A and B are shown apart, each in its own frame.
Chain A
């Protein structure tokens, strides 16, 4: 039996039945300019053996690399128990938990996740996750805008030292809403947002609804979150913090920024027990203060009591979702990253607050070791000040060439930031998490230096 359900004669029979000549005439409504006939980028099908051989040969190219990349996705040690438990059939095959009475296990897990995330962020509530960090940011911004009176013409400010991909996603999602997004310049010496930059922008715009800043920011630098939060709140703006969840076990969480805390915290959940896996799937987290709960997109699990006063878990506040609110839904988010949230929940419960804090400290210390060694070779730090676990360095050579050489040595040497920040020429973002030993770092710096010397010639 073929895997394709309709044979050519099935198709003819169906077309005849509905009185249509060809499949294409079913798509008459689509303007021909939008139709794509040839897709040369997509190769022809392979048989199973050839496909396995190709995939294995490709896997070999990436598996052995020592990773120093960072830039939004971080290599961390994941205890074996995390994915052993996550892959149990009960978790792996669980269907979406709309039927609460049949899904208590999944629902309880999401509730535990929400509780841990909210506590990690110093916030009152968390949803059950979104697709990834960038979509979580866009949703956070829309949430902030909805919380303001409809009379207010929204204007969003985002620090230009937020991940360039996140900013792209934000622009993409906000553009159809015709909401202006202004980028705040970072200080070229320190790589952070300053009050002066905010004031300058304020003089130009005189309008601010939502302010987005990172902690740590894309350059790994720590922002002066208290001052910025208070400044934005004075302007009656909603403050959104894009944060690294591992760092938040050690640094001040968004809920405690400034006098009254940021309003929304979001970011990429991947560092919490999700492997790098070539770029995904990852998950986004979104936490906020309780007053914004009705603006929060996605799922929320609540703890309740049944008729016999027994505790029970259920999806709650569903009125915000499409099946109830339909065209008035808060967003088009209609699910969560269940399996990755399962892994993150198990990861966080295995480590506990103390374990997470130790990892954050180890990341910080390893990065310090990295910095000390890099200072001894022919590279310059782009920014002065405290970093969490990654930093940007200017190389006296072409970054891509250096990265290629390092790759041949089995090292993924960092992220070339120059295409995204033209003023940062030949700049490489390098990260060291807790997974790197002093020997790894020493070896990396030696290889980096050699690669630079080679590129000079």
Chain B
């Protein structure tokens, strides 16, 4: 059974989003996504300060099976990246929602929060 925390929001492209505050949203990929990918071997991260645009690529996650684009759930600026993923990409497999977080974004249009999927909708999507 996939782990889909109720407190988070989700994208159609399998990213999760946590609203730490109005100014910081944390983004990762879901438990479901990491299971599909298999062992994650590398992650291509953006740089702090880069601008991201909603639904556009901001990085690539590589597993032994595939290389997949990561899509921004919101437009804004990167304020932090999870540097421990550089040496330990397996954190995404082990702990997708905590230690496996990928980036933190300062949102440009916080109302975009409303367009994200609730846990239940995401659960339906992947079932």
Residues of A whose CB lies within 8 Å of any CB of B are 294, 318-319, 324-326, 328
Q: A328 touching B67 by the CB < 8 A rule?
A: yes
Residue B65 interfacial (CB < 8 Å)? yes
Closest chain-A Cβ to B1's Cβ sits at a distance in Å of 28
Residues of B whose CB lies within 8 Å of any CB of A are 41-42, 60, 62-67, 69
Question: Chain A contact residues: over half helix, strand or loop, or mixed?
Answer: helix
New contact pairs (17) apart from A324-B65, A326-B67, A328-B69, CB-CB < 8 Å? A294-B42, A318-B64, A319-B41, A319-B42, A319-B62, A319-B63, A319-B64, A319-B67, A324-B64, A324-B66, A324-B67, A325-B62, A325-B66, A325-B67, A326-B66, A328-B60, A328-B67
Closest chain-A Cβ to B102's Cβ sits at a distance in Å of 17
A328 to B70, CA, bound (A): 13
A325 partner residues in chain B, CB cutoff 8 A: 62, 66-67
B65 partner residues in chain A, CB cutoff 8 A: 324
Query: Residue among B60, B63, B66 with the most chain A CB within 10 A?
Result: B66
Q: List 21 A-B contacts (CB under 8 A).
A: A294-B42, A318-B64, A319-B41, A319-B42, A319-B62, A319-B63, A319-B64, A319-B67, A324-B62, A324-B64, A324-B65, A324-B66, A324-B67, A325-B62, A325-B66, A325-B67, A326-B66, A326-B67, A328-B60, A328-B67, A328-B69
- The chain A residue sitting closest to B47, CB to CB, is A149
A324 to B60, CA, bound (A): 12
B42 partner residues in chain A, CB cutoff 8 A: 294, 319
B41 partner residues in chain A, CB cutoff 8 A: 319
A318 to B42, CA, bound (A): 11
- The chain B residue sitting closest to A328, CB to CB, is B67
A328 to B66, CA, bound (A): 10
B67 partner residues in chain A, CB cutoff 8 A: 319, 324-326, 328
Pick the 3 closest A-B CB pairs, nearest first: A319-B62, A325-B67, A328-B67
A326 partner residues in chain B, CB cutoff 8 A: 66-67
B63 partner residues in chain A, CB cutoff 8 A: 319
Closest chain-A Cβ to B39's Cβ sits at a distance in Å of 11
Closest chain-B Cβ to A322's Cβ sits at a distance in Å of 10
Closest chain-A Cβ to B61's Cβ sits at a distance in Å of 10
B60 partner residues in chain A, CB cutoff 8 A: 328
A318 to B63, CA, bound (A): 10
- The chain B residue sitting closest to A319, CB to CB, is B62
